[in-house]
Amino acid sequence: MSTETGPKETGQRSRKMLASTAAANAYQKQFGLDLKRRVVDDGEPFAIVQADTPHELFHAMDVPIITNQWWSAYISAKQLSGRYFEVMAAHGYPENACKYCSLGLACTLANDPASAPWGGLPKPAVLVARMTCDCIQHVFGQWAEALGTEFFPMEAPAWEHKDPRWFAHSRDQWQDVYDVDRIALMVAEMRDLIALLEKRTGKRFDEAKFQHLMEQINVQEGHIWQAAQAIGTARPCPVSIAEQMPNTMIPQWHRGSDWAVAHAKRFRDEVFERIDAGLGASTNEKIRLMWIGAGVWHDPGFYQALEETLGAVFVWSMYMPFAGPQYIRDLQGRPMEALASRICGMNEVLHLPPWMNGWMVSEAERCGIDAAVMLMPPDNRLSQSGNKITARSLEDAGVPVLVIDADMVDAKTWDHDTMVAMVRNFLSERGLA
């Protein structure tokens, strides 16, 4: 690929209407610079972790982390995914490997400081992931080997208590919802992880700091939850998911920090102000859409493409309403157990029945959803797991579903105009446009 012309652009930028969106993006940009300085320039011990691991332990110890999904989205946004996956194929990896989890490994294998963000990642103190999918052990084990470090796997045991309405009880009945034995196993593993981090980084785990962090996370997620509830009932929708995502996810990477708590409140207040003023994401809202799956990070403008022409507004994605049921916990004097309950079911409730379809049907009803668009990444088994059952459940509830075969970070098969036309035609065929 020529470095003079750069990679082919396959997506479009999203429109920003909120001051809080600009503030979140500016903060994250500075955070990226500071993180690069700490781990690349200064050589501070850091960790590479999956999104569904206990970030709170690292935050309480002030150990920098690079979240694999954030790193993948970062690489994808720079239009580098196609090149790196070609490198993986050249190394003998199957072309149908999970793209979301393996893009960071692909960047490391490419070993090209000239193209890699930050010149590539240095050796971390540890890599951490839950065994939620068959590919995780292979990807993280081989990534750790390529970086010359250790992989700390965390179990993802079967969940016997299958409550489709888990979200209604998770705040104060988390011990019953998530199973005592699963919580106990996660706590034991987190204690082992703390011991490893103390050994590898020389930093100590502060129980009081951790307790305060958990309390502040409840405050932060409460602000996001209030905004999500308001967006679900407001007509028109004040903020599309193109702006919901950064204002939720960027604070989530820093959850419990003073900035994250303050920003969540700022975003909530701006949402309330737009609702009071009657302002909508579209001036012509007619169709309320639900997005199921991770964000298409290489084409954020996709979500706003039909707002004005058809009045089709994506009002829902998993990121924002997830804040309430999956993050807020009555600590009950046991912050470590409360954190374990948050972590041990995170992927399951998003990707597996009956939790996934039970929650999403309830959310579709709450938000007055007219139709759903579901991402079906062809090579990501976890993100496919509950999709067909969830699509069927939504259809049975009167919500038509369009399934798009595409990947959240691999833009190779994605074309903005084609995908927008697919949604437009689907809405027309279902009599919504």
C-alpha–C-alpha distance, residues 83 and 96, integer Å: 15
The identity of residue 340, as a single letter, is A
pTM comes to 0.90
Reduce the DSSP state of residue 154 to 3 states and report it.
strand
Are 395 and 430 in contact, with CB atoms under 8 Å apart?
no
**Helix (H) or strand (E) run with residue 423 in it:** helix 416-429
For residue 72 the two structure tokens come to 């993948």
The phi-psi region of residue 219 (left if phi > 0; otherwise alpha if psi is between -120 and 50; otherwise beta) is alpha
User: Please, is 240 exposed, middle or buried when counting C-beta atoms within 10 Å of its C-beta (0-12, 13-18, 19+)?
Assistant: buried
C-alpha–C-alpha distance, residues 389 and 395, integer Å: 10
Residue 325 has a CB neighbour count (10 Å cut-off) of 20
C-alpha–C-alpha distance, residues 104 and 93, integer Å: 14
C-alpha–C-alpha distance, residues 177 and 348, integer Å: 13
For residue 50, how far is the Cα from the chain centroid? Answer: 10
For residue 68 the two structure tokens come to 């694999």
Instruction: Output the tens digit of pLDDT for each of the chain's 433 residues.
Output: 333 333 344 555 566 689 999 999 999 999 989 999 999 999 999 999 999 999 999 999 999 999 998 898 888 878 888 889 899 889 998 877 777 788 999 999 999 999 999 999 999 999 999 998 888 899 999 999 999 999 999 999 889 889 999 999 999 999 999 999 999 999 999 999 999 999 999 999 999 999 999 999 999 999 999 999 999 999 999 999 999 999 999 999 999 999 999 999 999 999 999 999 999 999 999 999 999 988 887 788 899 989 989 999 999 999 999 999 999 999 999 999 999 999 999 988 998 999 999 999 999 999 999 999 999 877 656 556 678 899 999 999 999 999 998 876 776 778 889 999 999 999 999 999 8
Domain ranges of the chain: 36-429
Task: Write the DSSP symbol of residue 408.
Answer: S
User: Vertex 126, ends 118 and 379: CA angle to 5°?
Assistant: 70
